[in-house]
Amino acid sequence: MSESDATPLVIPVGDAGPVSGLLLLPKDARVVYVLAHGAGAGMRHPFLGRIAAVLGERGVATLRYQFLYMERKQRRPDPPATAVMVVQAAVAAAARAAPGLPLIAGGKSFGGRMTSTAQAEAALPGVRGLVFFGFPLHPPGKPGVTRADHLERVEIPMLFLQGDRDDFAESILLRQVLRKLGRRATLHVVKDGDHSFGVPKRGGRTPEAVQAELADTLVQWWESIA
């Protein structure tokens, strides 16, 4: 599949106005992943487009969507309360667009954290697990774990896909957080990967190989919880 196969959607967000979405729904879809973008780039970021296509080839549908600030072409990310409202609207839109299919949710960096924040505040209807592409545990150079405090209130399975060179999540700190979450949390580490899952060329792995690794891990995790 390719990004050109995606169907544009308009997602209503209460009185805040609609946001754009892109639904990639393969004929053999078995689950829908509601996939939020990171803080600095929208739903059409090349990484999200590629991972959506690779997941589609494996029977995982995706609904990518814009947060309000990105829809309005603003630089400053939405406050958590606003972002949570958009996450809730996107999950509802996914359920309408693919009735009968189970849902998982999450996203890249900021988008994943806002999804888990939404889930911690009030369970997202129909969502059976969360998947994070690079959970942003702390800002680069400012190690800490307070951004993960809300994860203790998330009661569904979570998959953390992290590069071992991710400067937004020191490995030791992340593992400490996940130990407290127990069986709810699964960690998959991409060797030599940075926050965007870029790997050094000297390692011999291509971006396509890394994307396949991420997609295969997500599918295996889904099968284990489904």
Task: Indicate which CATH number applies to the domain containing 123.
Answer: 3.40.50.1820
127-133 and 60-65 beta bridge pairing? unpaired
Q: How many distinct structural domains can be found in the chain?
A: 1
pLDDT of residue 2: 76
| pLDDT score recorded for residue 1 | 74
Single out the residue of 174, 133, 170, 126 nearest to residue 151, CA to CA. 174
Give tens-digit pLDDT for 1-33: 777 789 999 999 999 989 999 999 999 999 999
Token pair belonging to 195 = 């926050």
pLDDT tens per residue, range 176-205: 999 999 999 999 999 999 999 999 988 889
87 token code pair: 């996450």
Q: From CA 24, how far away is CA 64, in angstroms rounded? A: 8
Say how far apart CA 180 and CA 61 lie, in whole Å.
31
Residues 60-82 have pLDDT tens digits of: 999 999 999 999 999 999 999 99
Domain residue limits at 69: 3-225
Query: 42 pLDDT exceeds 80?
Result: yes
